[in-house]
Structures are given as structure tokens and as C-alpha cells.
């Protein structure tokens, strides 16, 4: 067996961290005796009730294994195959789900919108919908936004409301990819209902994994009619867990005493420290406003290579030289300092900036 790499915490992704203590404890607690399968158990009921309490509304809740399933199955339930789904051009739905939304909706076309900082511009929604209104083109049916966005920015309540109104006016339903919904709520300091159903969101994919659970995201239908036969959709796609209590129980641990928000706040705060530190290093250029738990920056090639040599992993999928650093529920200030210290040292030595800048 390959030896297991050092367990050093990284900034590669918020899914690289482990299970937070609250989720772990709830999982352990649920591991006793027998419980009915397929969601017909007390843990699942309690977790769904806690989500209803959190959103202060009587929504329908389903637990599936991951975010791709949550997004693609919920999107499929909002439209027919001859419809289209509008999302930002860098939306996870478009770039990171291997065509699952199209697959599960039997071919619904995904149309791409633009907008600064990874956020959809309402004008682009209107343009896309009005571009073609004839029978030869798929009919726009769903607007999907990501909160927090793929580049770590956050839609304000006002922005979500405006998009919600635009969607309503144009006859679109609204879907929210909330893989990092907790980080958005923490960043905005609003109640979860404020930026979802009160602003026009019909269905939210509420991420648990990146917030600290082991597996399992929740699909929250505020518009209950749209949840019609969603259970069949889950079963058919292999997303109905037979031991459902183990998908649901961690949510109890996350929600009942506010761990979900505490962890999101913590991760956001770590990202803020990281962003501030990086900003002060010559040669490092931050790419987007830091609003959630990520920092995006352009680093010179030699610095990136040096960081890799020192054992740091991070993704570089945003443009040329654009690096993404993600913080998690367990990221410590020491982790941030260690990363910054290596970055400053390598940046000072980078040919572009000379070795005598004294940037440390």
C-alpha cells in the first residue's frame, strides 16, 4: 500500500478537510439499534424539521449523496427536455458536472450567461430569454445561481431579489446551487430565508460536505409543487440512500446548535486573513473580492512551482496563473501563517521581483 501522505492541512479545497466534531458526534449517535431504511426514520425526520426551522417555512427536504446529484436532479424537476436552464458561464452546473443536468433532464439545454465576479447580470438574463422566442429554440425555464459563487463572491439579498423578480417576470423558475450556502449566509449576516424563498428561490441545493459533514447535500424545495415525485427521481438515479439516517444525522449535529454557521464563519475568517496577507506580498495579485471562504490570486509561475515543491497543493483553473485557495472549518491561523510565510519567501526570491525587496 502506498504510504499515506502527511495529513497537513491544505488550501486545495474545502472538501479536503475531514468531518467536523458535531457531524461526527451526530453520526455516532445515530449508529445505534435499527432504524427504518430509505428515509423513513427519526433522524431523517428531525434533520428535515431542523432545515424547515432554519428557513422558517414548510419546505420539502431530500437528502442525496452529493452536490452534482442535488443540482442535476432538482434542475431536472424544474423543467422538461425541451426547456433550457440559464446559468453563469463558470457555474459548477456547466463546468464541473460532466453534463449531469442535461443527462438527468433528458437533454435540457444549458445556456450560458456572463457577469462580473462570477455573478449573473440580470440584464444578461433578459437578453438571453428574448434572444429567441420561436419554437425552434429550447424555451428558457430555469435560472440557476450559485451562492456563494464559484469565485468566492456573494450575491447580496438585493441582488438575489432582483434576479428573482427578473426570473418571475420572464416566466423562469429559480434554482440556487448552495454548495457553499453556509459561507454566503455567514458572509452576509442574514437569515437563510432572506436570500432564498423570500427572494424568489424555488429550490436550494444546500451543501453539507464542504461545510463539515462526511457526505450528503440537502435539496430544499420552497415551492413544494416542484417536489412532486422527486423521491422517484432520487431512487431511479441511485440517490435514495437505504441507510438514509447516516446522510441525515450529521445535519442534526450541524444545525441544532449552529455549528454550520460557526464553521462557515471560521472558514470565511481564515480566508480573510489569507487574503490580507497575500495582498501585502509583492507580485501577488488578488483576482476577486474576498467574500466567502476562498482567495483567488495570480502567482508567478516560479512561485507556484516553489509552493508545490514545499508541499502546498492548490488548483489553478481560473485563467492563466489564477490560483484558488480554499479555507475549511478546520483551517487554523497557523496554517495561514505557514502558507503566507512560504509565499512571501518565494515571492521575494522570484526573478520578477528581485531578492532584496524585504517583503517578509
Ligand X SMILES: *Cc1c(COP(=O)(O)O)cnc(C)c1O
Cα-only R_g, the chain: 21
Residues of this chain, 130-149, that bind ligand X according to CB under 6 A: 146
249: its cell numbers: 444525522
Least gap, CB of 128 to ligand X (angstroms): 20
Least gap, CB of 139 to ligand X (angstroms): 25
Q: Which residue is nearest to ligand X (CB)?
A: 67
**Which of 22, 41, 60, 150 contacts ligand X by CB under 6 A?**
150
Residues of this chain, 186-245, that bind ligand X according to CB under 6 A: 209-210
**Which of 30, 68, 108, 331 contacts ligand X by CB under 6 A?**
68
The answer to whether 108 and 253 have CB atoms below 8 angstroms apart is: no
Q: How many contiguous H segments (helices) and E segments (strands) does the chain have? A: 13, 11
45-50: Cβ within 8 A, 24+ apart? 46/248, 46/252, 47/218, 47/248, 47/249, 47/251, 47/252, 47/255, 48/248, 50/251, 50/252, 50/255, 50/256
Which residue from 57, 13, 65, 63 is spatially nearest to 39, judged by alpha carbons? 63
Least gap, CB of 159 to ligand X (angstroms): 17
Residue 294 in contact with ligand X, rule: CB under 6 A: no
Residue 66 in contact with ligand X, rule: CB under 6 A: yes
Least gap, CB of 144 to ligand X (angstroms): 10
Kindly tell me which of 108 and 146 has the beta carbon lying closer to ligand X: 146
> What are the backbone dihedrals phi and psi of residue 135, each rounded to the nearest 5 degrees, phi first?
-75, -10
288: its cell numbers: 476577486
Residue 72 in contact with ligand X, rule: CB under 6 A: no
Kindly tell me which of 41 and 177 has the beta carbon lying closer to ligand X: 177
Residues of this chain, 80-139, that bind ligand X according to CB under 6 A: 92
**Which of 41, 159, 177, 202 contacts ligand X by CB under 6 A?**
177
Span interacting with ligand X, options 64-72, 102-110, 266-274, 283-291, rule CB under 6 A: 64-72
Kindly tell me which of 67 and 300 has the beta carbon lying closer to ligand X: 67
Which residue from 202, 260, 243, 287 is spatially nearest to 63, judged by alpha carbons? 243
Kindly tell me which of 71 and 265 has the beta carbon lying closer to ligand X: 71
Residue 187: other Cβ atoms inside 10 A:
24
Residue 333: other Cβ atoms inside 10 A:
11
Provide the binding-site residues for ligand X, judged by CB under 6 A. 66-68, 71, 92, 146, 150, 177, 179, 209-210
Amino acid at each position: 500500500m502506498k504510504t499515506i501522505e502527511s495529513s497537513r492541512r491544505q488550501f486545495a479545497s474545502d472538501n479536503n478537510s475531514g468531518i467536523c466534531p458535531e457531524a461526527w458526534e451526530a453520526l455516532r449517535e445515530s449508529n445505534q439499534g435499527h432504524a427504518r431504511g430509505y428515509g423513513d426514520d427519526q433522524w431523517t425526520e428531525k434533520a428535515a424539521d431542523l432545515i424547515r426551522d432554519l428557513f422558517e417555512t414548510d419546505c420539502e427536504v431530500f437528502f442525496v449523496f452529493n452536490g452534482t446529484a442535488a443540482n442535476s436532479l432538482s434542475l431536472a424537476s424544474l423543467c422538461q427536455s425541451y426547456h433550457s436552464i440559464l446559468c453563469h458561464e463558470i457555474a459548477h452546473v456547466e463546468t464541473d458536472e460532466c453534463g449531469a443536468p442535461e443527462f438527468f433532464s433528458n437533454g435540457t439545454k444549458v445556456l450560458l450567461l456572463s457577469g462580473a465576479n462570477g455573478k449573473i447580470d440580470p440584464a444578461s438574463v433578459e437578453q438571453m430569454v428574448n434572444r429567441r422566442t420561436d419554437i425552434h429554440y429550447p424555451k428558457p425555464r430555469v435560472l440557476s445561481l450559485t451562492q456563494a459563487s464559484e469565485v468566492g463572491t456573494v450575491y447580496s439579498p438585493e441582488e438575489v431579489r432582483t434576479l428573482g423578480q427578473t426570473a418571475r417576470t420572464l416566466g423562469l423558475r429559480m434554482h440556487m446551487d448552495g454548495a457553499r450556502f453556509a459561507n454566503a449566509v455567514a458572509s452576509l449576516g442574514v437569515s437563510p430565508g432572506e436570500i432564498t424563498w423570500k427572494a424568489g428561490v424555488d429550490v436550494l441545493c444546500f451543501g453539507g460536505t464542504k461545510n463539515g459533514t462526511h457526505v450528503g447535500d440537502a435539496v430544499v424545495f420552497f415551492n413544494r409543487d416542484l417536489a412532486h415525485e422527486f423521491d422517484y427521481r432520487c431512487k431511479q438515479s441511485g440517490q435514495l440512500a437505504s441507510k438514509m439516517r447516516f446522510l441525515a444525522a450529521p445535519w442534526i449535529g450541524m444545525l441544532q446548535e449552529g455549528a454550520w454557521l460557526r464553521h462557515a464563519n471560521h472558514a470565511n475568517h481564515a480566508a480573510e486573513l489569507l487574503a490580507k496577507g497575500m495582498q501585502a506580498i509583492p507580485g501577488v495579485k488578488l483576482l476577486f473580492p474576498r467574500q466567502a471562504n476562498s482567495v483567488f490570486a495570480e502567482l508567478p509561475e516560479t512561485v507556484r512551482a516553489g509552493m508545490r515543491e514545499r508541499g502546498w497543493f492548490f488548483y489553478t483553473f481560473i485563467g492563466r496563473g489564477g490560483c484558488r485557495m480554499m479555507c475549511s472549518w478546520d483551517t487554523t491561523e497557523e496554517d495561514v501563517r505557514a502558507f503566507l510565510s512560504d509565499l512571501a519567501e518565494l515571492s521575494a526570491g522570484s526573478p520578477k521581483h528581485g531578492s532584496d525587496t524585504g517583503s517578509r
